[in-house]
């Protein structure tokens, strides 16, 4: 599988991720910079590529021998390594000693391995403001959000995965994540989804998820199309500079 992964071969790369996600058979030999396998002071090696951190590993005992690594190592399931590394925003680099330098797996894809490959879109993602016109859906969703006290704001993005169909993502910013709040937000989406045209996939993403690439893009680039607090703010006097003339001072005041 490693030999099949080349630039643009997202299908081969996805197959590699699926192989790593299989318990027992998706094992890797993690190179330890400090300590012994299983010891409290065990520490994975690190390497940096294009400003991003990775932990190096090899994919078999034969590759370990070929690498010339003379320190300790630890044999671990790929899914367990993914759960360890992605919260630290570290990726995994397979066989860095191999011709061509091996294959790097960014931490965003380790998160997919750790949480379920089918639950997250295949990257790299192309994200943009939606251009499709569905005013009835947005109007109904905004109306239902205003009736759902748990919702603070809503954002939107058009997501094109590396594999699979593009879809509309709705970013949900909520005040709390209690079971009752989650149920109310789920009901809000169910009540609104009927206004979506047939064949248009719609997904939701929690704005509080600091590891989700869609949520990260929404926080950085998308303004809310519904904002409870802005909606509830009292009307302010018009300010100069937005088409209004300056407000003259009251008599006797400056």
pTM, two decimal places: 0.81
Q: Identify the sign of the CA torsion 169, 173, 179, 180.
A: negative
Token pair for 210: 């600091």
Instruction: Compute the average pLDDT of residues 126-150.
Output: 96
Domain residue ranges of the chain, discontinuous segments joined by +: 10-119, 126-232
Between 198 and 248, residue with greater pLDDT: 198
Instruction: Using a pLDDT cut of 90, give the percent of the chain over it.
Output: 80
In the prediction, which pLDDT does 3 show?
86
Per the document, the length of the chain is 254
In the prediction, which pLDDT does 252 show?
41
- Topology classification of domain 126-232: GMP Synthetase; Chain A, domain 3 (3.30.300)
- Asked if the model's pLDDT at residue 254 lies above 60, the reply is no
Instruction: Compute the average pLDDT of residues 206-225.
Output: 96
Instruction: Compute the average pLDDT of residues 87-110.
Output: 95
For the 10-119 domain, the top CATH level (class) is alpha beta
- Asked if the model's pLDDT at residue 250 lies above 90, the reply is no
In tens, the pLDDT along 193-206 reads: 999 999 999 999 99
In tens, the pLDDT along 221-247 reads: 999 999 998 866 554 544 433 344 444
């Amino acid at each position: 599988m490693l030999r099949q992964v080349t630039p643009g071969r997202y299908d081969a790369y996805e197959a590699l991720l699926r192989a790593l996600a299989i318990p027992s058979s998706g094992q890797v030999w993690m190179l330890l910079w400090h300590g012994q396998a299983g010891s409290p002071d065990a520490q994975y090696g690190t390497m940096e590529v294009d400003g991003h951190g990775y932990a190096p590993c090899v994919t078999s005992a034969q590759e370990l021998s070929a690498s010339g690594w003379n320190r300790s190592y630890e044999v671990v399931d790929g899914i367990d390594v993914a759960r360890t590394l992605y919260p630290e925003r570290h990726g995994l680099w397979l066989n860095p000693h191999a011709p061509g330098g091996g294959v790097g797996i960014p931490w965003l894809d380790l998160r997919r391995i750790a949480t379920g490959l089918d639950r997250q879109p295949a990257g790299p993602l192309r994200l943009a403001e939606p251009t499709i016109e569905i005013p009835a859906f947005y109007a109904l969703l905004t109306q239902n959000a205003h009736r759902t006290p748990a919702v603070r704001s809503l954002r939107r993005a058009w997501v094109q995965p590396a594999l699979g169909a593009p879809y509309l993502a709705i970013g949900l910013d909520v005040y709390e994540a209690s079971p009752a709040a989650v149920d109310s937000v789920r009901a809000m989406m169910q009540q609104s989804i009927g206004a979506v045209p047939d064949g248009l996939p719609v997904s939701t993403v929690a704005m509080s998820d600091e590891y989700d690439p869609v949520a990260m893009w929404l926080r950085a680039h998308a303004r809310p199309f519904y904002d409870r607090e802005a909606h509830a703010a009292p009307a302010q006097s018009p300010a100069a500079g937005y088409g209004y003339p300056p407000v003259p001072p009251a008599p006797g005041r400056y």
